[in-house]
Homo-oligomer: A and B are copies of this chain.
């Protein structure tokens, strides 16, 4: 009996059908700099940056993580793509970079055309939010790797920053103010713990609306990673920001020091903002220690801007005008290179 590739679980025709439908999604994300269409071996982008004297490319790779399980459980696949692009865009924004292009890696056990197109529609939406082009990607069908209906999604972004505008911590001074930007829920971190506590241990149904929530648990857990690129980038270009920390896995405790010089630390006043209900629910249901919460979750702060005291009012009002919620959460201090969260 003759065996074909399709018999072994790989359906090239289904992949080609999905690819054809991706073209319109990719087209949505086209920005100046993109050369040619999709279908070539590699995606092409202009590498001359007129008006920049010393451009630096900034690149980052990341995955959505086990937030994907919520997409599988609810059958809603159009938001996780937003998550991965916005996560990556925020990462390079931490160094002041403007995103240029993004590529995705989507691996599944059995390629379902509708699911793939839905995921990629989210990737395209994320690219629109971040202002970058979806330049390419890989959709892999890997039988025996992923359960039917499951997949993994990772992404890769490249941006550019003028060397003299690059944020590397060197501009930070003791006395600088830490401005927290409100997050949209868990973003893309801590889902293994959140699922374990809320779904496995507490047994909460995803369609329920827990006390204090304004939406179902499913909606809350699927809220896309907020993209801070468009409101924050102009302030970087005006040199009003000394440093930026993207609050991802590791929370405020591990991420904030990455943006500060070695001889500085930070003190954060945890009473400066109300920790959103989803974090309080996880902590309560799992009896999770305070320190662990601030090391795993963003606790309501998705990004921290380090700003000179004299710039605080301008920066805050500019961001608020763009729809951000800005909270003065603490200060930079000279001393040990770590974060003290007062009261934790």
Contacts and interface: CB of A to CB of B under 8 A. Distances in A.
Contacts of A287: 1-3
A61 B142 contact: no
Interface in A36-57: 36, 39-49, 52, 54-57
A12 B68 CA distance: 20
A105 B103 contact: no
A59 B40 CA distance: 10
A190 interface: yes
A56 B66 contact: no
A7 B197 CA distance: 10
A4 B288 contact: yes
Interface in A138-161: 138, 140-146, 150, 152, 154, 156, 158-160
A127 interface: no
Nearest to A60: B42
A63 B192 contact: no
Interface string A271-297: 000000000000000111100100110
Contacts of A137: 61
B258 A136 contact: no
A154 B155 CA distance: 10
A175 interface: no
A217 interface: no
A10 B44 contact: no
Contacts of A91: 41-42
A62 B138 contact: yes
B192 A105 contact: no
Interface residues of A, number: 88
Given A3-B201, A192-B5, A45 B65 contact: no
Nearest to A169: B40
A250 interface: yes
A95 B40 contact: yes
Given A41-B94, A142-B192, A59 B135 contact: yes
Contacts of A12: 249-250, 295
A214 B56 CA distance: 48
A10 B168 CA distance: 29
Interface in A220-256: 246, 249-250
A10 B59 contact: no
A340 interface: no
Contact of A138 (B47, B63, B141, B146): B63
Interface in A146-196: 146, 150, 152, 154, 156, 158-160, 166, 168, 190, 192-193, 195-196
Given A5-B292, A42-B59, A141-B192, 14 more contacts: A2-B286, A4-B193, A12-B295, A41-B258, A42-B91, A42-B95, A42-B159, A43-B58, A45-B56, A47-B49, A62-B138, A63-B105, A65-B142, A69-B145
Interface of A: 1-5, 7-10, 12, 35-36, 39-49, 52, 54-63, 65-66, 68-69, 91-92, 94-95, 97, 100-101, 103-105, 107, 135-138, 140-146, 150, 152, 154, 156, 158-160, 166, 168, 190, 192-193, 195-197, 201, 246, 249-250, 258-259, 286-289, 292, 295-296
